[in-house]
Amino acid sequence: MTSDEHLQRAHDTGTGAGGITVELPDGSRRELEAGATGADLAAAIGRRLAKDAIVIELDGHLVDLGLPLPDGAKVRIVTAASDEGRHVLRHSTAHVLAQAVLGLWPGARFAIGPPITDGFYYDFDLPGGVRFSDDDLPRIEAAMRTIIAEGQPFERAELTISEGLELFADQPFKREIIEGVGAAATSDGSASGEGAPLLDPELAAETGSGAVTTYRNTATFVDLCRGPHVPSTSRLGHFKLMRVAGAYWRGDEHNQQLQRIYGTAWESAEALAAHLHRLEEAERRDHRKLGAELDLFSFPDEIGSGLAVFHPKGGLIRRLMEDYSRRRHDEAGYEFVNTPHITKSDLFSTSGHLDWFAEGMFPPMELDDGQAYYLKPMNCPFHILIFRSRQRSYRELPLRLFEFGSVYRYEKSGVVHGLTRVRGMTQDDAHIFCTREQMADELDSLLNFVLGLLRDFGLDDFYLELSTRPEGKAVGSDEEWAEATEALRRVASSKGLDLVLDEGGGAFYGPKISVQARDAIGRTWQMSTIQVDFQLPQRFGLEYVGSDNTRHRPVMIHRALFGSVERFFGVLVEHYAGAFPTWLAPVQARVLPLRSDHEDYAAEVHAALRAAGLRVDVDSASEPLGARIRRGKMEKVPYLLVVGESDVAAGTVGVNVRGSNDPERDVPVADIVERISRAAVVGGYDQASGVAVSPGVAVAP
């Protein structure tokens, strides 16, 4: 039953004579008068809940708080401080934004205004080619606060297609949405039947099922929307408009470019302030800014968008990441392989990538009398060919192939973002070929390996996401998908982590588990993925000879641990705010002679640290000591070692540890060498970053 059908049911059954009984989430029941609404139910439960409630969930669908409740319904009160409640707050605040803009710019045309993660936006076309600027935002906010102070009700109505078109006669974007609903409804008598044109999710949020639904706030402002919304604008107020941007209508670069205003809205002033603080902290940690400041990487215009070059310090960190990963993979029984960057098109035709992933691939190159070659977007078909290169026996399984493989994906310029969304990347790709009987144990081992390695890099706050079959974009039987999905679900459920279902989010060839990691400021990043694949072994005719001397089909498991080296690098930069733990820091210690006549002793200290395998440099006394210390702190060097006259005589150093405001004096050289050596191991306590990472593994300089 759709949300609109629930509304009709409530209208039909909630206004009769006598009383009604509804069931609450804890299984208890409440008796109410006929015609009682969600607001009445909240008030009957308690004064605080009545104050906090903004919508209700009625038999699994969110609806307005003022809707009459049907007899026998299952009802849950949704408050503003929940994820669903914030979603509604933001949607309603977007409507207030639209009303404010239309009032300030008469003749403006408004498009869509959905809630998004942590906020909302609305798209506009202003009359006479007028452009928004950030200077307009305070004026718009003031108009919004006036609307909120008026306590305008959100009044829902259902219209026919023709009534909707008449109501929005001067709003072409609204009319296009309504016409899309009409076309969908007439294609098979419903709004969502097979063959009906599909609206974008944001557009679908503006409409009901086969009808035009609107919310009116005043006699002069009404918006196209399926809801639900807060009861009145007085329930809003903790918001801030963030920025102005451009956006193409319906996300299509061939359509008209509109002006978009982004905002954020929360349930309280405290929640809004905390969010704004997180944004400030995220800006401070922005890996693009830190990458330039710390001289780690860049994106030269001469090379192209989304194609990074790593500078010596960034290249060193990257090598340390890759070398440590190689060591752990070697210990876990992986075989190392290497594959080329391009291939004939036939390979990706067989794999299905040209059918399902072509829009994410670079255009082909025509070589060898018209033969099409592609830059590879994936490593998996290459690893399949390695498996298929000779007859395989069950004794070789599980066969774990691993590669740091460069891949290329054509991301649209609008979504390319630093290292976290690039066009050229290196994936730490593994593909495991195993028997069906080995699959469960292999998945369990894989997930343990993934979580352990991520913890080694300082990420330890996880939840798991299970992505299922994408309808209309998948190959294989329902039974195979069900078996693969259930195997992943059992393994994920055994780890004691929250498991979130991502319906339809799997790849075309199989479901997947994604490890979602929270960073130092609570943001979530998708990290490792593990996918079960019955399809590609079939498409490539993979076989092994079993213990019964007959041929069997292997199961293929795809696994990317970092996701890509570039993206993981960017995540670590932001997680640590550029202050990498000592084992990953490009310079672990810097020696600062107080005067030029102390430089010979500084060289001796440098040599002692180098002999211990540490990465160390010397900043000579050509500048004042204070300037050199400030530079070392800006470069986030974990240990700054100052040597002066007394140190030369006593064989000591002064120690400035990153993050500490208390310099240490007269520390013997042998002691500081031992301290930094301990910190430079993946494990133990790292004083310079205040983190402890798991196993004690020495890292080569």
Question: Which has the minimum average pLDDT: 380-389, 478-487, 640-649?
Answer: 478-487
Q: Per the structure, how many domains does the chain have? A: 4
Q: Is the pLDDT of residue 490 over 70?
A: yes
Residues 186 and 100 in one domain: yes
Angle between helices 439-456 and 478-493 (to 10 degrees): 50
Structure confidence at residue 15 as a pLDDT band (50, 70, 90):
very low
Q: What is the CATH number of the domain that holds 680?
A: 3.40.50.800
- For the segment 654-675, the average pLDDT, to the nearest whole number, is 95
pLDDT tens, residue by residue, 611-653: 999 999 999 999 999 999 999 999 999 999 999 999 999 999 9
User: In the Cβ-directed half-sphere of 664, how many Cα atoms lie within 13 Å?
Assistant: 16
Question: Which has the minimum average pLDDT: 6-15, 163-172, 569-578?
Answer: 6-15
Cβ contacts of 280 within 8 Å, gap of 6 or more: none
Question: Which has the minimum average pLDDT: 199-203, 551-555, 592-596?
Answer: 199-203
Q: How many CB atoms are located within 10 Å of the residue 612 CB?
A: 15
- CA-CA distance, 599 to 577, in Å (whole number)? 32
Q: What is the CATH number of the domain that holds 466?
A: 3.30.930.10
Residues 114 and 251 in one domain: yes
Q: Which residues pair with 37 in a beta bridge?
A: 68
The confidence score (pLDDT) of residue 194 equals: 31
Q: Which of 22, 56, 79 is the last residue before a domain boundary?
A: 79
Structure confidence at residue 687 as a pLDDT band (50, 70, 90):
low
The confidence score (pLDDT) of residue 8 equals: 54
* Domain annotation covers residue 146: yes
**What is the DSSP track for 446-493?**
HHHHHHHHHHHTT---EEEEEE---TTS--S-HHHHHHHHHHHHHHHH
Contact criterion met (CB below 8 Å) for 205 and 218:
no
Please list the helix, strand and coil fractions of the chain in percent, rounded to the nearest 5, in that order.
35, 25, 35
* Domain annotation covers residue 302: no
* Residues labelled catalytic: 380, 409, 427, 429, 431, 512, 558
Q: Is the pLDDT of residue 245 over 70?
A: yes
Q: Is the pLDDT of residue 196 over 50?
A: no
The confidence score (pLDDT) of residue 137 equals: 97
Q: Is the pLDDT of residue 83 over 60?
A: yes
* Domain annotation covers residue 323: no
Whether cis (ω within 30° of 0) applies to the bond prior to 624 is no
Q: How many CB atoms are located within 10 Å of the residue 650 CB?
A: 11
pLDDT tens, residue by residue, 440-466: 999 999 999 999 999 999 999 999 999
pLDDT tens, residue by residue, 578-623: 999 999 999 999 999 999 999 999 999 999 999 999 999 999 999 9
Q: Which residues pair with 530 in a beta bridge?
A: 513, 559
- For the segment 58-73, the average pLDDT, to the nearest whole number, is 92
Structure confidence at residue 684 as a pLDDT band (50, 70, 90):
very low
Quote the domain boundaries for residue 670.
589-698
H or E, element range at 590: strand 589-593
Tell me which residue of 690, 675, 701 sits closest to 580, measured CA to CA: 690
Structure tokens at 377: 């977007």
Residues 91 and 238 in one domain: yes
**Beta strands 462-467 and 499-502, pairing class:** parallel
Question: Which has the minimum average pLDDT: 127-141, 407-421, 676-690?
Answer: 676-690
pLDDT tens, residue by residue, 45-57: 999 999 999 999 9
Q: Is the pLDDT of residue 699 over 70?
A: no
Residues 90 and 59 in one domain: no
Taking the alpha carbons at both ends of the chain, their separation in whole angstroms is 62
Contact criterion met (CB below 8 Å) for 587 and 637:
yes
Structure confidence at residue 7 as a pLDDT band (50, 70, 90):
low
Cβ contacts of 240 within 8 Å, gap of 6 or more: 141, 263, 264, 272, 276
- CB-based contacts of 35-41 (< 8 A; 24+ apart in sequence): 35/68, 36/68, 36/69, 37/65, 37/66, 37/67, 37/68, 37/69, 38/63, 38/64, 38/65, 38/66, 38/67, 38/69, 38/75, 38/77, 39/65, 39/66, 39/231, 40/69, 41/69, 41/75, 41/77
Q: Is the pLDDT of residue 502 over 70?
A: yes
The confidence score (pLDDT) of residue 4 equals: 54
Q: Is the pLDDT of residue 670 over 80?
A: yes
Tell me the C-alpha to C-alpha distance, in Å, between residue 594 and each of 202, 605, 622, 658.
63, 13, 10, 19
Q: Which of 280, 312, 338 is the last residue before a domain boundary?
A: 280
Tell me which residue of 232, 227, 89 sits closest to 158, measured CA to CA: 227
In degrees rounded to 5, what are phi and psi of residue 89? Answer: -55, -45
**What is the three-state SS of 296-319?**
CEECCCCCCCCCCEECHHHHHHHH
Residues 161 and 73 in one domain: no
Structure tokens at 404: 């740091």
Mean pLDDT for the chain overall: 90
Contact criterion met (CB below 8 Å) for 121 and 114:
yes
Residues 617 and 569 in one domain: no
User: In the Cβ-directed half-sphere of 505, how many Cα atoms lie within 13 Å?
Assistant: 13
Residues 73 and 94 in one domain: no
Residue with the two structure tokens 């009545």:
50
Residues 429 and 524 in one domain: yes
Residues 380 and 459 in one domain: yes
Residues 174 and 213 in one domain: yes
* Domain annotation covers residue 359: no
Structure confidence at residue 78 as a pLDDT band (50, 70, 90):
very high
pLDDT > 70 fraction of the chain, expressed in percent and rounded = 91
* Domain annotation covers residue 35: yes
- For the segment 270-280, the average pLDDT, to the nearest whole number, is 95
Residues 505 and 605 in one domain: no
Q: What is the CATH number of the domain that holds 269?
A: 3.30.980.10
- For the segment 154-171, the average pLDDT, to the nearest whole number, is 95
- For the segment 565-579, the average pLDDT, to the nearest whole number, is 96
The confidence score (pLDDT) of residue 473 equals: 76
The confidence score (pLDDT) of residue 2 equals: 53
The amino acid at 543:
E
Q: Which of 280, 313, 347 is the last residue before a domain boundary?
A: 280
**Would you give the DSSP letter of residue 370?**
T
- CA-CA distance, 212 to 253, in Å (whole number)? 27
**What is the DSSP track for 219-287?**
SS-EEE------SBGGG---EEEEEEEEEEGGG-TTS-EEEEEEEEE-SSHHHHHHHHHHHHHHHHT-H
The confidence score (pLDDT) of residue 69 equals: 93
The confidence score (pLDDT) of residue 252 equals: 84
Burial class, 417, CB count within 10 angstroms (exposed 0-12 / middle 13-18 / buried 19+): middle
Residues 93 and 151 in one domain: yes
